[in-house]
Amino acid sequence: MSVTTRRNRFAVAALAAVTAIGGLAACGKDDEPKEAGGKPSKLVVDTFGEFGYDEIVKQYEKDTGIKVELRKTAQLNEYRPKVVRALATGKGAADVTALEEGILNEFKTNPANWADLTPLIADHSKEYLPWKWELGKAADGRLIGLPTDVGSLGVCYRKDLFAAAGLPTERDQVAALWPDWNAFIETGKKYRAATNKGLIDSATTAASAVMVQQGGDLFYDKEDNVIADKSAAVKTAWDTAVAMSDAKISAKSATWSPEWSAGFKQGTFAATFCPSWMLGIVADNSGPENKGKWDLAPVPGGAGNWGGSWLAVPAQSKYPKEAAKLAEYLTNAKSQVEAFKLKGPLPTNLEALKNPEFTGYTNEYFSGAPTGKIFGESVEKIQPLHLGPKHQAIKENAFEPALRSYENGQSPKDKAWEQFLKDAKTQGAF
Amino acid sequence: MSLSATTAPPSPSAPPPTPPRRRSRAITLNRLDLKLSPYLYIAPFFVVFGIFGFYPMLRTAWMSLHDWDLIGDHSFIGFDNYTRLFTDEYFWNATINTFGIFILSTIPQLLLALFLATMLNRTFLRARTLFRMAIFMPNVVSVAAVAIVFGMLFQRDFGLINWMLSLFGVDAVDWDAQKWSSWTAIASMVNWRWTGYNTLILLAGMQAIPKDLYEAAAIDGANQWKQFWRITLPMLTPTFVFVVTLSTIGGLQLFTEPLVFGNGNIIGGDQREFQTLAMYMYELGIENLSSAGYGAAVAWAMFVMIALVSLVNFLLVRRSVK
C-alpha cells in the first residue's frame, strides 16, 4: 500500500473524529431565534394534562404577531422531571411554565430559578381568589406564579349502585345523606350492609378531602417546620380515615392502582372524592357504557381545594417581559372561561367565576350535573391552605402509605401513626 | 499491509529522490498513522463512553461528597453522605429487597436456562430453530409492557393468578402487601423476560464444545448425565461466568419492574416491601430534589456492591466447576 493512500486514510480518520466531536459540540449551541432588544418571534409554553389553551393562543398570535408553541405532557409525573432537568442545567425551559400546586411549593424554596412577575405586569392581586394569589408568591416576596385553576371538591357517586343499595339517588337527597363526616360513615355502613361492598374507593382519598377542608397549616407551620405530630388538620384527617377503615366503608383500592381503575367499571365502589380535574378521569375509567350513571354531590363538611396550578416564567427565559405578558393573557378572566369550556379547569379569576357561561355549565357524562354551579359555589368557600415545600412527598410517601398499612391490616394504629411521623420527618426535610 | 515504509530507514549515502524535508515529513506522518490511527478507530466508543458513562460517574462521585440541591445550592460535606448510609434503615431495607428479588430471579432462571439449553442442544429435537427463536421472544417485548401485563395478572381483585388460586380454595393474595409475595411477582417478570436470553447464550457455549469429547466419553461408557456433569458444565464455565455477571448487573439494578408493579410509586409498597436500591437512589436523587448528593452516594454504594458481587460470583463459579 502506498504512502499517499495511507496518509489520506489518516486524514479521513482525523476528519471523521473532528466532525464527530464538532457535531457533539454543535448540539450544545442554542438555536433560539434572537432579536436583540426587540420582541421575540416565538414563545414556548409548557403544560401538563389539559389546560385548554389551544384556541386562546391562536387569538394571542393574531393580536401580537408572536408565535406560541404549546408543549403538552400528558402526565404530571413525566412533566416534573422535564422541568427539573431544565432548571438543573439552565437550559431548555419553556418561556411560560405551568406549575402544579405540589411542584410550585417545592420550587418556591429556590425562588431564584423564577422571574419576579411583579415589575413585569400590571397589578392583578385583587382580581383572583386571595389565597390562590398569595400561594403564587415565594417566601422572599417575589411573585412566581399567576393563578390558573383550582381543583375544588365534590363527591362523585354512582346512581345505579346507590339505588341498588336502597339509597336515594337525586343529588339534593344525596347531599342530605351526609351533612358531616359521621353521617357519611353511617351511609357507608348502610351501603356495606346492603351490598357487602365499600362505598368509597379508599380511606386515603377521604383523608385528602378532609385535610384540605380544614385549611390553615397541614404538614408544615408558617415557618416551614414539619409539624406532622402537632397539626390539627392532619390529626382530623387521620382520625376520620381511621374511623372509615374501622367501619369498613372503603374498597381498599389505592388511587391509580389497577384495582382502582378497574373498580370504576366493575362497580367495586360507588363513590369517590372529586376535585374538578377528577371528573374526566372518572369518565375515562368508567367508559362510555356508564355515561349518565354518575352524578356529583357536595362533599360533607364544607368546601375544600385539592390541586390546581399556576403559570410561571423561568429566570432563564430570554424574553421575561413578553413571557409574563403571555402568562397574564392566559390567566385573564376571558381565557379562564374559554379554557373551562374546552377542557374543564375551574377558574380562579373572580370575574370568570361570575361569568354565566361558567355558572350555567352542566356536565353531560355526570347526568347533566350543574358542575359549574356546584364547584363555583364551593370555590368561594375554600379555606386558605399553607402547603409546605415537600407537602406532596409527605402526603404520598409518608401519610398515605401509613394509612394504607393500617387499612390493609399490616400494622396496628399506633405503629402506623409512628411510621407516618418518622417518614414525614425525612420526607419533609429540604 | 506492508511495514516496509516505516522499517526501512532513509539511507544517508544515497541521494534521496525527493527533497529531504518533504521525505522526512512523509515518514513522520506515516509513523503517526501507524501509532495513532488504531486509537482513532476505537475512539468513537471511548468518546461516547467518556461523555455518557465515565463523566457522569465522576460527576456522581463529586456530587456524593456534597449536600446537593438539584435545582439550588450545594456545599461540600466530605464523606457525611456515606456515613449516613450505614445508619439508614431504608437503605438496608432496599438492599435486602434487591438481593431477595435477585436471588429469587437469578437462581431459578439460570437453572431453567441451563435445562432448556441442554434440551435445545439435543440432536433429536425437531424444529429447533423455531424453539430457539420462540424462547427469545419475551426478551424483545418492552419492559414496561411486561410489567403492566404482570401487574394485571397479580392484581388483588380481578387478577388471573388470584382467580386461579381461588379455584383451589386459596384466599385472594394482596400481592404487593408482603415481601414474599411482591418479590415472587417481580421475580417472575424478570424470569419470564430473561430466561430465554440466557438459554441462547448457554446454548451457544454448549455448541462450541467439541463433539469428539462426547464421542470419546460415550465410547468409554459415560452416560448422558455423566457427560453433562463432566464435560458440558466444565467446558461451559467461561460462558457461565459471563451469564452470571450479566445477571448480577441487571438484577442489582432492577428498577422498571418493581416501579410499574407498585403503580409508579417510588417507595415500592406501603411499607417499602419491594423498593429496590435503584428505586431508593431515584427517590433520593431525582424525586426528592434537595437530597441529590445523598442519592449520588447511594448510586456509588450500588456500584461497589455490584462490583463486589460480580467478583464473588466469578470466584465461586470458577472454583465450583474446577
Phi and psi angles of residue B254, each rounded to the nearest 5 degrees, phi first: -50, 125
Q: How many CB atoms lie within 10 A of CB B59?
A: 11
ipTM above 0.90, yes or no: no
Which pLDDT band, with edges at 50, 70 and 90, does A14 fall under? very low
DSSP B15: P
Domains identified in chain B, total number: 2
Cα distance between residue A103 and residue A303, in whole Å = 23
Question: CATH classification of A154-305+377-428 is 3.40.140.10, yes or no?
Answer: no
Asked if residue B289 has pLDDT above 80, the reply is yes
Q: Are residues B255 and B221 in the same domain?
A: yes
Cα distance between residue A266 and residue A284, in whole Å = 14
Residue B4 placed within a domain: no
Region class of B294: left (phi > 0), else alpha (psi between -120 and 50), else beta = alpha
In this structure, are strands A308-312 and A385-386 parallel, antiparallel, or unpaired?
A: unpaired
* A380: nearest Cα among A304, A312, A292: A304
Over pLDDT 90: what percentage of chain A?
A: 67
Instruction: For residue A366, give the C-alpha cell.
Output: 355526570
Which pLDDT band, with edges at 50, 70 and 90, does B13 fall under? low
Asked if residue B195 has pLDDT above 60, the reply is yes
Note the pLDDT of residue B14.
Answer: 53
* A49: nearest Cα among A247, A223, A275: A275
Residue B13 placed within a domain: no
Asked if residue A121 has pLDDT above 50, the reply is yes
Residue B5 placed within a domain: no
Q: Are residues B124 and B167 in the same domain?
A: yes
User: What residue type is B212 in one-letter code?
Assistant: D
Q: What angle do CA B7, B9, B12 make, to 5 degrees?
A: 170
Note the pLDDT of residue A380.
Answer: 82
Cα distance between residue B145 and residue B257, in whole Å = 10
Residue B219 placed within a domain: yes
* Smallest Cα distance from A177 to chain B, Å: 29
Note the pLDDT of residue A387.
Answer: 87
- Residues of B in Cβ contact (< 8 Å) with A109: 72, 290
Q: What angle do CA A81, A83, A84 make, to 5 degrees?
A: 60
Instruction: For residue A102, give the C-alpha cell.
Output: 405540589
User: What residue type is A10 in one-letter code?
Assistant: F
CB distance B138 to B181 below 8 Å: no
**How confident is the model over B16-55, as pLDDT tens digits?**
555 666 778 888 888 888 888 899 999 999 999 999 999 9
**How confident is the model over B54-69, as pLDDT tens digits?**
999 999 999 999 999 9
DSSP A42: E
Largest CA distance in chain A: 97
Residue B9 placed within a domain: no
Nearest CB neighbour to A14, from listed B30, B40, B287: B40
Best to test chain B binding among A10, A316, A418 (most B CBs inside 10 Å): A10
Q: Are residues B45 and B187 in the same domain?
A: no
Least confident interval from A32-46, A318-332, B179-193, B253-267: A32-46
Asked if residue A404 has pLDDT above 80, the reply is yes
For residue A107, the chain B residue with the least C-alpha distance is: B71
User: What residue type is A20 in one-letter code?
Assistant: A
Cα distance between residue A307 and residue A228, in whole Å = 20
In this structure, are strands A271-274 and A154-158 parallel, antiparallel, or unpaired?
A: antiparallel
Residue B11 placed within a domain: no
Instruction: For residue A257, give the C-alpha cell.
Output: 392502582
Domain A42-151+307-359 has what CATH class? alpha beta
Asked if residue A158 has pLDDT above 80, the reply is yes
DSSP A383: P
**How confident is the model over A345-373, as pLDDT tens digits?**
899 999 999 999 999 999 999 999 999 88
Is the minimum CB–CB distance between A24 and chain B shorter than 8 Å? yes
Asked if residue A32 has pLDDT above 50, the reply is no
A166 three-state secondary structure: coil
Q: Are residues B158 and B30 in the same domain?
A: no
* B164-189 mean pLDDT: 92
Residue B74 placed within a domain: no
* A358: nearest Cα among A338, A378, A343, A329: A338
* Smallest Cα distance from B88 to chain A, Å: 11
Nearest CB neighbour to B267, from listed A13, A14, A401: A401
For residue B37, the chain A residue with the least C-alpha distance is: A10
Q: Are residues B173 and B230 in the same domain?
A: yes
Average pLDDT, chain A: 88
Question: Is A235 buried (19+), middle (13-18) or exposed (0-12) by CB count in 10 A?
Answer: middle
Q: How many CB atoms lie within 10 A of CB A104?
A: 22
Note the pLDDT of residue A12.
Answer: 44
CB distance B261 to B176 below 8 Å: yes
Note the pLDDT of residue B3.
Answer: 44
Residue A7 to residue B26, Cβ atoms within 8 A? yes
Residue intervals in chain A for CATH 3.40.190.10: 42-151+307-359, 154-305+377-428
Phi and psi angles of residue A236, each rounded to the nearest 5 degrees, phi first: -60, -45
Q: How many CB atoms lie within 10 A of CB B264?
A: 11
Residue ending a domain, choose from B64, B92, B121: B64
Q: Are residues B170 and B28 in the same domain?
A: no
Q: Are residues B136 and B267 in the same domain?
A: yes
Could you tell me which residue, B49 or A8, shows the higher pLDDT? B49
CB distance B259 to B94 below 8 Å: no
- Residues of B in Cβ contact (< 8 Å) with A89: none
Note the pLDDT of residue B321.
Answer: 54
* A16-42 mean pLDDT: 50
Asked if residue A40 has pLDDT above 60, the reply is yes
CB distance A256 to A188 below 8 Å: no
Residue B71 to residue A110, Cβ atoms within 8 A? yes
Q: Are residues B222 and B304 in the same domain?
A: yes
Query: Can you give the C-alpha Rg of chain B in angstroms?
Result: 27
Q: Indicate the helix (H) or strand (E) that contains A48.
A: strand A42-48
DSSP A226: B
Note the pLDDT of residue B322.
Answer: 53
* B288-311 mean pLDDT: 92
Residue B136 placed within a domain: yes
Q: Indicate the helix (H) or strand (E) that contains A295.
A: strand A294-297
DSSP B74: E
* A55-72 mean pLDDT: 93
CATH of the domain at B274: 1.10.3720.10
Q: Are residues B214 and B317 in the same domain?
A: yes
Cell numbers 439460570 correspond to what residue?
B110
- Residues of B in Cβ contact (< 8 Å) with A107: 71
Note the pLDDT of residue A37.
Answer: 54
For residue A25, the chain B residue with the least C-alpha distance is: B51
Q: Indicate the helix (H) or strand (E) that contains B100.
A: helix B89-121
Which DSSP string do the residues of A133-162 spell out, in sequence order? HHHTB-TTS-B-EEEEEE---EEEEEHHHH
- Residues of B in Cβ contact (< 8 Å) with A396: 265
Best to test chain A binding among B2, B70, B156, B157 (most A CBs inside 10 Å): B157
pTM of the shown model:
0.83
Query: Can you give the C-alpha Rg of chain A in angstroms?
Result: 25
Q: Are residues B186 and B44 in the same domain?
A: no
Residue B152 to residue A258, Cβ atoms within 8 A? yes
Residue A259 to residue B1, Cβ atoms within 8 A? no
Note the pLDDT of residue A303.
Answer: 87
Asked if residue A313 has pLDDT above 60, the reply is yes
A369 three-state secondary structure: strand
Cα distance between residue A12 and residue B255, in whole Å = 43
Helix%, strand%, coil% for chain A, nearest 5: 50, 15, 35
* A404: nearest Cα among A227, A245, A243, A295: A245
**How confident is the model over B72-124, as pLDDT tens digits?**
888 999 999 999 999 999 999 999 999 999 999 999 999 999 999 998 888 77
The domain in which residue B174 lies consists of 82-321
Average pLDDT, chain B: 88
Could you tell me which residue, B199 or A11, shows the higher pLDDT? B199
Note the pLDDT of residue B144.
Answer: 87
Note the pLDDT of residue A9.
Answer: 46
The contacts of residue A422 (CB under 8 Å, 6+ apart) are none
Note the pLDDT of residue A68.
Answer: 95
Q: Which residues, numbered 102 to 141 in chain A, qualify as contacts with chain B under a Cβ-Cβ cut-off of 8 Å?
A: 106-107, 109-110, 113
Which pLDDT band, with edges at 50, 70 and 90, does A76 fall under? confident
Q: Are residues B271 and B153 in the same domain?
A: yes
Which pLDDT band, with edges at 50, 70 and 90, does B156 fall under? confident
Q: Are residues B49 and B176 in the same domain?
A: no
- Residues of A in Cβ contact (< 8 Å) with B296: none
